[in-house]
Amino acid sequence: MRRLQRSLLVASLAFLAVGCVSQRTVDGKDQPAQQFNAQEAADTRLALGLQYLQSGNYQQARANLERARDYTPENPSVHTALAYYYQQVKEYENAERYYRNAIRLQPDNGDTYNNLGALLCTMGRFAEADQYFRQALAIPDYVKVASTYENAARCAAKAGDIQKSDEYFQRALNHSGRNSTILESYATVLLEQGRFEQLAQVLARRADLPQLSAQYLWLEIELAKQQNNKVRQLSFIELLLSRFPESRQARDYQARTSEPNS
């Protein structure tokens, strides 16, 4: 059986090799073989690599992304995808190298500056991160202004610069005032800083938006706890556990309440 399988494999490869030489048309003439298209092959490998990244199969993601890079070494999208891969597996130096490659190959892509800024912030290089956020924002026609201001605000907060963080959050909200993600991000930072009066103001704006989220409900629970409003706290706890029982926030709450003396 193994010999038969090997023979079939060899025959298949031989058929493919012969089939690539020429193709006979109806009138009996040969036409040139179809040329290998490196860009199409790279696009296919890039799409596969991103799918594997999303599913958490990092080994296959890397294999496909590296093959895409081999096909098109100067493709900025491939370098960006490899940077993201290395960022996911926490090999930050490699991620930085690929982001810088992508910027060199496509210096007018604001997303790459933003992504490199976020990476540098993760690495604790706050001043450099801020420079790259600003470079992204300075690019004409860059559309993700609000999210970049949000990233810059969170990074400034991480660096301990409360004033700059507030300024960036306000600019983010100026561009997208009804963005629930930005409001929740700002509220989370305010909670961490213990600024409960400002937290209440931001959550009041978030409450006007229709969609609930586990993070929003958790923030309301924490604010009610600080205000010693047990009725309000309980109502949001019930909402969190009923609407988002599998969320990280719900699991954290249940783990916390199951501890002795909690």
CA 63 – CA 60 distance, rounded (Å): 5
Q: Is the dihedral of CA 223, 225, 227, 232 positive or negative?
A: positive
- Looking at residue 259, its pLDDT comes to 72
Is residue 46 within 8 A of residue 15, CB to CB? The reply is: no
Supply the pLDDT for residue 34. 67
* Other beta carbons less than 10 A from residue 196's beta carbon: 14
Give residues with Cβ within 8 angstroms of 115, minimum separation 6.
Answer: 80, 83, 84, 99
In this predicted structure, what is the pLDDT of residue 260?
Answer: 66
Low-confidence ranges of the chain (pLDDT < 50): 1-27
Instruction: Determine the Cα–Cα distance for residues 112 and 98; give it in Å rounded to an integer.
Output: 10
Tell me how far apart the terminal alpha carbons of the chain are, to the nearest angstrom.
65
What digits encode the pLDDT tens for the residues 114-156?
A: 999 999 999 999 999 999 999 999 999 999 999 999 999 999 9
